[in-house]
Each structure stands twice: as structure tokens, then as C-alpha cells.
């Protein structure tokens, strides 16, 4: 009897049966494994940067975040363990960052310096911070929370943004690229309609779209005459530098830089981004090497039978934004978003998707119907519920679990380090299925809807979970 009681003991937290992460089931408690596409295990450090002053960042501002040994962090020429450089393209604080370091280069118990600096378009420092943190190489994901920046220098007055030039060195900010980790190389891919600008080892190469049976394939030539190829498939890719070098890549950045209370939408062909804040509306249209930025005071919202609309003046013409609730798949990533968005400006009609990816997931409860390609029985089937605040809770089959997650138009990740679970014993077949489900859940990187309306979560090592919505709209 005492042994049975000991099995059933759990820590009660807010009426739920939870335990501390140290006692998690192995599938959630284990360090996040490195992708099979990388040569060595990786450690990821995430967090966000902000400051308390109500000062907007100027156009052309950039952010650099590095991880280094404390004694070397202040030396810009010193080698760093991880680096992320972001062209902010009009983004404002809070700014999320993600660093990826090779675990073998870190030492357990050692403190490492995280240094962040925001610079204006001329390279002058505006805001910065340097702080020390223990980064355990045995833990796959570290969330540093919010780091508060200090004023680096009195920034110059911000002049009104001039019209974007058609081309040249003074072109308006381009959209930030997508960072990939290719072995130990950091690669940034900047897509447009005609091809891809790929930055490798600090050099940017122009690649053209090529035919492929699956994914998106781009080819070109680097200055030494070697052919370069970048073949992306969702959050994974393959980089080839000549016939002798082929490197598997995984997307290294997972951020949602939306400010609190800010609505975002985007579309392609041509590419555009719309941001609606508390008092203004921003529209950015991207061209080849240029962008057009329009900013107006937020018009009054007009309610429609199936959504709402904003109408305002932009220069000598009208700007109309119509937002209709309804599932919309992002054309580039297949990520489901909650709204269909249409922008009418200067004779153009732009179509795209808007709203929060997390808000879409929060529309009801999801019940798993298949796991890694195998149909699941309806009895004790895993289920989960997402919240717009970034928490996922559910039934893994036998035990309940809770964890933090992040979702945006590029994918989804679940921070197993933040997770907790009950520890009840169930029949062996249920426990085996539960462990397989939790292992797959920890590997998830992407989410979309299939033709039947099932939510498809997929990720590393061919992990796949298909779920049916059982509640909500």
C-alpha cells in the first residue's frame, strides 16, 4: 500500500497535478537534441530586449547579439561562440533574439557574456547591454527572459523618413533574412520573387530559382568559380559549395517580434507587411533591393458583416485595409493564421494573411488522430489546448502536461525546459504511446493544415502529429 501511495504522489499547483521539471518524464525532461542535420549538438539561447524609455528606434537601425566568454565579450574582434545580426526594418522593442552555440564549446557551470547593441543606420550605438549567464551545454534551450538595455549615447534627432530610392546604397531597409545554422556556418537567406540573396561567411551571393521536385531550390556561382546551391524545405535546408561540400542546415531563428497589442499581416507577389498599432498603421512593400514604407494615423475602424475595414488617405490616393476572420494559410510557410487580409493601395490589390498564429491555435481543443504516420486509438488519445498567452496544456495519454510554446508565421516550438507533468502509472501500451507522443512534441518545428482540416505538427527526425479540432469555431 505504501508503494502504491508513493506512485500516486504529485505536487499540487493551482488545482493541477504538476511536478517540478527535474522530475519530468524522460521525453520532456531530456535536453533538446540537436537536429540530425547538424554535425554536433547545439545549445539555443532565447530572450527579448527592451528599454523603459518611450523612444522609437530610427529607420535603418540594426541589432547585434553575441555570446562570448566574459573576458572577451567587450572586444569586438575577439571570437564569439554565437552571433545574431538583425536588420530591424522598422521593428520596435521588445525585440526577440535567438543564439545557437555548439555545445562542445561550452563548459558546465561557466558563466558566459550575452552582449547586445542596437546601432543606427550610420553605425552609431544607441542602446546596449552586457550580462553574464550560466549556459549549461547539457540543456538544449535556455530562456533568459527580458534583458533591459541602457542608453549607449544620446541618439541624433530622427528626421522624417524620405521616400525610398529605387536602388543604390541609400535604399530603404530590406526585410530581415531567415537565419540558418549549416554545420558551424551561420547562413542568412533573403528571399524575393526572382530568387535569393544568400549570405555565407559574411559574403552575399545572388542565387536564382531553379527547378525542383520538392521545396525551393536556388543556384548560383561564387567568385572563385564554384557553384553554390541552397535547397530549402520548410525549416530545413541543404547548402552545397561545389561538388565537394554539402552541408545540412536547420533554421536557427524562431522569433515573434510583434509588439504587444500590435496586429500584423503579410503577403507575397509582391511581398508586403502590414502593422496596425494603437494609433498608427504601417504598410511596407518590398521590391528587388528596395522597399516603400507608408505610415498614417490609424483611421476609425468600420465594422462589416464579416469583419472590419480601415480607410484612409495615402499621398494623393486612398488606402483600404479589409480584414475578414477565417482560416488563411501563409503562402510561403503554410502556417495557418486566423484572418484573410486585403490591402488596396495605388491601384494594387494585395492579398495575404493576418493575426496571431498562437491565436489560431487557441481556437478550441485539439485531439491527436495519428502519430508519426500511425493512426491512434480514440481511447486515451493525446489532446492539447493552446492559449494566446503562449501556454499549451493537455493529456499525453496517461498523464497531463503543461509547457510554454511560441508560434509565428514561420513555425512553432515547445520549450520542454518549461514543462511539467503528472507521474501516474498506466498500462504499458498507453505509457509507450505517451512517451512517443511527448518525444515527437518536443521535436516539433512546423505547423499547417492538411486538406481534411487536420492540424499537422511536424519536425525533426520525421516527427509528425495530426490533430482534429474538437472545440471552438
Q: Which domains does the chain have, with CATH numbers?
A: 42-151 (2.60.40.2990), 178-251 (2.40.128), 263-355 (no CATH), 359-470 (2.40.128.270)
SS (H, E, C) the chain: CHHHHHHHCCEEECCEEECCHHHCCHHHHCCCCCCCCCCCCEEEEEEEEECCCCCCCCCCCEEEEEEECHHHCCCCCCCCCEEEEEECCCCCCCEEEEEEEEHHHCCCCCEEEEEEEEECCCCCEEEEEEEEEECCCCCCEEEEEEEECEECCCCCCCCCCCCCCCCCCCCCCCCCCEEEEECCEEEEEEECCCEEEEEECCEEEEEEEECCCCCEEEEEECCCCCEEEEEEECCEEEEEECCCCEEEEEECCCCCCCCCCCEEEEECCCCEEEEECCCEEEEEEECCCCEEEEEEECCCCEEECCEEEEEEEECCEEEEEEEEEEEEECCCCCCEEEEEEEEEECCEEEEEEECCHHHHHCCCEEEEEEECCEECCCCCCCEEEECCCCEEEEECCCCEEEEEEEEECCEEEEEEEEEEECCCCCCHHHHHHHHHHHHHHHHEEEEEECCCCCEEEEEHHHCEEEEEECCCC
The share of the chain scoring above pLDDT 70, in percent, equals: 75
Q: Examine the pLDDT at 149 and tell me if it is beyond 80.
A: yes
Q: pLDDT averaged over the chain?
A: 77
Kindly report which listed range (64-73, 74-83, 276-285) carries the lowest average pLDDT score.
Answer: 74-83
Q: Examine the pLDDT at 308 and tell me if it is beyond 90.
A: yes
Residue 193, pLDDT score: 63
Residue 37, pLDDT score: 37
| pLDDT tens track for 192-241 | 666 888 888 777 888 988 876 666 788 998 887 888 998 876 667 788 88
Q: Examine the pLDDT at 395 and tell me if it is beyond 70.
A: yes
Kindly report which listed range (35-49, 193-207, 337-351, 447-461) carries the lowest average pLDDT score.
Answer: 35-49
Kindly report which listed range (384-398, 411-425, 438-452, 453-467) carries the lowest average pLDDT score.
Answer: 411-425
Amino acid at each position: 500500500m505504501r508503494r502504491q501511495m508513493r506512485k500516486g504522489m504529485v505536487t499540487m499547483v493551482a488545482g493541477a497535478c504538476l511536478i517540478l521539471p527535474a522530475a519530468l518524464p524522460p521525453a520532456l525532461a531530456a535536453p533538446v537534441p540537436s537536429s540530425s542535420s547538424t554535425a554536433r549538438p547545439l545549445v539555443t539561447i532565447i530572450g527579448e530586449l527592451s528599454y523603459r524609455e518611450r523612444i522609437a528606434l530610427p529607420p535603418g537601425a540594426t541589432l547585434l547579439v553575441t555570446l562570448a566568454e566574459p573576458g572577451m565579450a567587450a572586444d569586438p574582434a575577439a571570437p564569439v561562440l554565437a552571433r545574431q545580426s538583425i536588420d530591424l526594418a522598422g521593428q520596435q522593442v521588445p525585440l526577440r533574439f535567438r543564439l545557437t552555440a555548439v555545445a562542445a564549446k561550452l563548459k558546465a557551470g561557466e558563466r558566459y557574456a550575452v552582449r547586445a547593441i542596437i546601432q543606427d543606420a550610420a553605425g552609431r550605438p544607441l542602446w546596449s547591454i552586457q550580462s553574464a549567464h550560466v549556459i549549461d551545454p547539457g540543456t538544449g534551450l535556455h530562456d533568459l527572459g527580458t534583458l533591459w538595455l541602457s542608453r549607449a549615447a544620446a541618439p541624433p534627432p530622427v528626421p522624417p523618413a524620405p521616400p525610398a530610392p529605387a536602388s543604390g546604397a541609400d535604399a530603404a531597409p530590406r526585410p530581415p533574412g531567415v537565419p540558418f545554422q549549416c554545420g558551424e556556418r551561420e547562413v542568412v537567406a533573403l528571399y524575393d520573387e526572382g530568387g535569393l540573396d544568400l549570405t555565407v561567411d559574411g559574403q552575399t551571393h545572388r542565387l536564382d530559382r531553379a527547378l525542383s521536385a520538392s521545396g525551393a531550390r536556388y543556384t548560383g556561382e561564387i567568385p572563385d568559380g564554384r557553384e553554390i546551391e541552397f535547397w530549402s524545405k520548410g525549416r530545413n535546408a541543404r547548402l552545397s559549395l561545389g561538388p565537394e561540400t554539402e552541408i545540412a542546415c536547420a533554421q536557427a531563428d524562431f522569433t515573434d517580434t510583434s509588439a504587444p497589442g500590435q496586429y500584423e499581416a503579410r503577403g507575397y507577389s509582391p511581398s508586403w507587411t502590414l502593422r496596425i498599432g494603437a494609433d498608427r498603421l504601417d504598410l511596407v512593400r518590398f521590391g528587388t533591393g528596395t522597399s516603400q514604407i507608408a505610415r498614417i494615423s490609424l483611421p476609425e475602424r468600420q465594422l462589416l458583416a464579416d469583419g472590419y475595414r480601415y480607410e484612409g488617405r495615402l499621398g494623393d490616393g486612398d488606402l483600404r485595409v479589409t480584414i475578414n476572420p477565417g482560416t488563411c494559410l501563409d503562402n510561403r510557410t503554410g502556417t495557418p493564421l486566423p484572418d484573410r487580409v486585403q490591402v488596396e493601395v495605388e491601384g494594387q490589390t494585395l492579398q495575404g494573411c493576418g493575426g496571431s498564429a498562437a491565436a489560431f491555435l487557441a481556437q478550441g481543443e485539439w485531439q491527436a488522430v495519428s502519430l508519426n504516420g500511425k493512426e491512434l486509438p480514440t481511447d486515451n488519445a493525446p489532446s492539447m489546448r493552446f492559449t494566446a498567452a503562449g501556454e499549451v496544456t493537455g493529456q499525453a495519454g496517461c498523464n497531463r502536461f503543461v509547457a510554454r510554446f511560441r508560434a509565428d508565421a514561420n513555425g512553432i516550438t515547445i520549450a520542454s525546459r518549461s514543462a511539467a507533468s503528472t507521474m501516474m502509472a498506466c498500462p504499458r501500451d498507453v505509457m509507450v504511446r505517451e512517451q512517443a507522443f511527448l518525444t515527437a512534441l518536443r521535436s516539433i518545428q512546423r505547423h499547417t493544415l492538411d486538406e481534411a482540416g487536420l492540424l499537422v505538427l511536424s519536425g525533426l527526425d520525421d516527427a509528425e502529429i495530426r490533430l482534429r479540432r474538437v472545440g471552438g469555431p
